[in-house]
């Protein structure tokens, strides 16, 4: 006979076998006892929490010929056997992920008219119902609202937000919770005992933790490990090697090294992790979970139902407070969360991880509020432990460095007659410009010169500089036509020219050379240009 995967072999066949969903199981059992069974149910929850299994058990219980006093199906009568073996015409399963068209729902609308051949109910289990198209939902709506008395719908989904409100309002909604690590580990130990396999308790707990609240995921991981190691004793180290996960002890070592700002130890831990072939993204994600658990242990008085860790791990987190404060943990959570986002697009993940842990070991590189609070908390923790904190004091009066001798003042050379004439007639020259975009810009620009024969146009706005640069040939032709001489023209910002002028000839407040002042006196005022 072909091998059956563990998650299929140990799928529960009664309500007693459903793990971690007591609130749902009890409600369904009470409805069957009192006869208050609804015509439509919506089972919501993450993968591997028992939605489909509960739907199948409920459908068998509603048609079973000999249910027990708790409402569990007997799994022995002909109706139960047919449903268990998948040949019953009373229970129809539809995968909405691949059958999401309106024609599939129309077939259901035609079938519900006929009563079941055996048993009391026709049960339609629609898995991943949120994948149905809008037209399919509309076709299902009327049937779901007023179905025949012999029809029951059980809709299952991992994304209830995508189910229309018109459908939700016609169903009884049950939210399946994530299964706790303790419940998964306890159940796995029972399955392993039934299989006759030897696995250490810490290894089973690690598998349950990797399942992340999903019984199916945990069983799949365990199945892979059992197949790889055969009849060998399955230990924690073997599971860590096979799955690429990281042992919890390395997180406590990393926290101690980061808390003491020991860069050498931190880099050795990263090297150890890399040499063992661990996945960096998974390492960062697991360490964020570790920091979150540490923060909850030291901030919440009652952890029942909030923190899913063993008593041994809880004691380790309590002892870890000697190396880390909650404020420092908040800062590290912020840093590693940012690193986790950056790793999605990184080509060299190790470098990013090493830079981040080194930055945490050198907190003075960060100046935001969270980093400062973390540094202050670290000092308070060390003082409380009796560690002397040395603070380097700044001398009250530092010897003043001798000032550099002032730069000798250079006088600007007077302009020749041609340049003076250009300055005087600049506005007249600009008025001859035929370009409607260029004309207002050059009229608002100033004429200036350096120690060369170039004519510099000074513009206030950078965008004007860019526009004139594209039309410098036009400006040069305009000057040559009016002045009857060829000038090289360059355009710069006024701020850039003032910086050069100050560096070359000194501050503008200094005494102005007579030649330079006379030049500006020779420029006509605005009334002159208006008259022209």
What CATH number corresponds to the domain at position 305? Answer: 1.20.272.10
For residue 103, the number of C-alpha atoms closer than 13 Å in the C-beta half-sphere is 2
Q: Is 492 helix (H, G, I), strand (E, B) or coil?
A: strand
Q: The domain containing residue 14 runs over which residues?
A: 6-175
Are residue 212 and residue 255 in the same domain, yes or no?
no
Question: What is the rounded average pLDDT of the residues 30-41?
Answer: 90
pLDDT attached to residue 488: 85
Co-location of 138 and 187 in the same domain: no
Mean pLDDT of 178-191: 89
Q: Is the pLDDT of residue 526 over 80?
A: no
User: Using CA atoms, how far apart are residues 167 and 146, in angstroms rounded to an integer?
Assistant: 12
Residues 423 and 349 in one domain: no
The secondary structure of 82-97 as a DSSP string is HHHTT--SSEEEEETT
Average pLDDT on 123-147 reads 89
pLDDT recorded at residue 408: 52
Can you state the angle between helices 248-259 and 311-320, rounded to 10 degrees? 10
pLDDT tens across 137-149, in order?
988 888 888 888 8
Same-domain status, 161 and 197: no
Note whether 39 and 114 are same-domain residues: yes
Beta-strand runs (E) in 128-170 = 151-157
Per-residue pLDDT, averaged over 368-386, amounts to 65
Residue 200, domain member (yes or no): yes
For the chain, what's the residue count? Answer: 532
Domain boundary among 129, 159, 175: 175
Alpha-carbon span 448 to 459, nearest angstrom: 11
| Rounded distance between C-alpha atoms, residue 199 and residue 206, angstroms | 11
Q: Is residue 157 part of a domain?
A: yes
Please tell me whether residues 212 and 265 are part of one structural domain. no
pLDDT of residue 389: 52
Q: Nearest-CA neighbor of 101 among 141, 136, 128?
A: 136
What's the CA gap between 340 and 349, in Å, rounded? 10
- Tokens 């050069």, residue located: 500
Domain assignment present for residue 411? The answer is no
167 pLDDT higher than 70:
yes
Do 164 and 308 have their domain in common?
no
Check whether residue 222 and residue 293 sit in a common domain. no
Neighbour count for residue 258 (Cβ, 10 Å): 23
Q: pLDDT for 412-444, tens place per residue? A: 677 778 888 888 888 888 888 888 878 888 888
Domain termination site, one of 217, 243, 269: 243
Q: What percent of the chain has pLDDT over 90?
A: 17
Q: What is the band of 400 on the pLDDT scale with cuts at 50, 70, 90?
A: low
Regarding whether 271 and 220 lie in a shared domain, the answer is: no
Task: In whole angstroms, give the CA distance from residue 260 to residue 528.
Answer: 78
Cα distance between residue 168 and residue 42, in whole Å: 8
Mean pLDDT, range 124-133, rounded to an integer: 91
On whether residue 360 sits in a domain, the answer given is yes
Residue 513 confidence (pLDDT): 44
In a domain, 395, yes or no: no
pLDDT more than 70, % of the chain: 82
Helix (H) or strand (E) holding 395: none
Mean pLDDT of the chain: 81
Give the mean model confidence (pLDDT) for residues 293-321. Answer: 74
In a domain, residue 59? The reply is yes
- Judge whether 284 and 353 are in contact, CB under 8 Å: yes
Tokens for 289, please give them: 């979970």
Asked if the model's pLDDT at residue 328 lies above 50, the reply is: yes
- Say which residue, 351 or 321, is predicted with more confidence: 351
User: What is residue 244's predicted lDDT score, i.e. its pLDDT?
Assistant: 66
**DSSP-derived pairing of the beta strands 151-157 and 454-459:** unpaired
Question: Among all chains, which residue has been given the structure tokens 């992790």?
Answer: 273
Whether 179 shows a pLDDT value over 50: the answer reads: yes
* Number of domains observed in the structure of the chain: 4
Higher pLDDT, 248 or 279: 279
State the pLDDT at residue 420.
83
pTM: 0.59
Which of 175, 198, 233 represents a domain boundary (last residue)? 175
pLDDT at residue 306, rounded to an integer: 64
78 & 108 share domain: yes
CA nearest neighbour of 251 among 212, 288, 215, 276: 288
């Amino acid at each position: 006979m072909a091998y059956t995967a563990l998650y299929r072999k140990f799928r529960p066949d009664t309500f007693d076998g459903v793990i971690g969903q007591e609130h749902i199981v009890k409600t369904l059992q009470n409805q069957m006892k009192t006869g208050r069974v609804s015509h439509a149910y919506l089972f919501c929850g993450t993968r591997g929490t028992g939605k489909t299994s509960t739907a199948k058990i409920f459908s068998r219980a509603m048609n079973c010929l000999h249910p027990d006093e708790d409402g569990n199906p007997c799994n022995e009568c002909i109706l139960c056997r047919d449903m268990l073996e998948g040949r019953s015409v009373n229970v129809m399963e539809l995968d909405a992920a691949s059958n999401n068209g309106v024609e599939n729902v129309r077939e259901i609308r035609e079938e519900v008219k006929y009563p079941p051949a055996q048993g009391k109910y026709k049960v339609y289990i629609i898995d991943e119902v949120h994948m149905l198209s809008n037209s399919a939902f509309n076709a299902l709506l009327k049937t779901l609202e007023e179905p025949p008395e012999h029809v029951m719908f059980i809709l299952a989904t991992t994304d209830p937000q995508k189910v229309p409100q018109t459908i939700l309002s016609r169903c009884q909604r049950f939210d399946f919770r994530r299964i706790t690590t303790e419940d998964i580990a306890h159940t796995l130990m029972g399955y392993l005992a039934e299989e006759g396999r030897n696995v250490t308790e810490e290894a089973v707990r690690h598998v349950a933790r990797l399942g992340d609240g999903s019984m199916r995921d945990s069983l799949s991981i365990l199945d892979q490990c059992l197949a790889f190691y055969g009849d060998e004793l399955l230990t924690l180290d073997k599971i860590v090697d096979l799955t690429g996960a990281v042992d919890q002890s390395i997180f406590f070592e990393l926290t101690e090294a980061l808390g003491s700002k020991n860069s050498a130890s931190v880099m050795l831990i990263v090297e150890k992790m890399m040499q063992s072939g661990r996945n960096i993204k998974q390492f960062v994600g697991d360490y964020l979970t570790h920091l979150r658990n540490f923060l909850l242990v030291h901030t919440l008085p009652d952890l029942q139902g909030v923190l899913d860790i063993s008593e041994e791990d809880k004691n380790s987190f309590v002892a870890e407070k000697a190396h880390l404060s909650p404020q420092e943990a908040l800062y590290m959570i912020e840093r590693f969360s940012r690193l986790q986002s950056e790793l999605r697009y990184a080509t060299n993940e190790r470098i990013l991880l090493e830079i981040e842990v080194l930055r945490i070991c050198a907190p003075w590189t960060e100046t935001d509020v969270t980093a400062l609070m973390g540094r202050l908390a670290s000092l308070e923790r060390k003082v409380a432990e009796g560690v002397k904190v040395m603070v380097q004091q700044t001398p009250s009066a530092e010897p003043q460095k001798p000032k550099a001798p002032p730069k000798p003042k250079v006088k600007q050379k007077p302009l020749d007659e041609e340049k003076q004439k250009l300055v005087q007639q600049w506005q007249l020259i600009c008025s001859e410009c035929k370009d409607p975009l260029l004309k207002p810009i050059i009229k608002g620009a100033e004429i200036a010169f350096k120690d060369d024969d170039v004519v510099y146009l000074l513009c206030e706005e950078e965008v004007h500089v860019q526009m004139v640069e594209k039309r410098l040939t036009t400006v040069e032709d305009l000057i040559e036509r009016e002045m009857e001489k060829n000038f090289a023209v360059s355009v710069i910002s006024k701020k850039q020219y003032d910086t050069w002028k100050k560096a070359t000839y000194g501050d503008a407040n200094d005494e102005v050379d007579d030649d330079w002042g006379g030049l500006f006196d020779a420029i006509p005022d605005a009334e002159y240009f208006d008259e022209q």
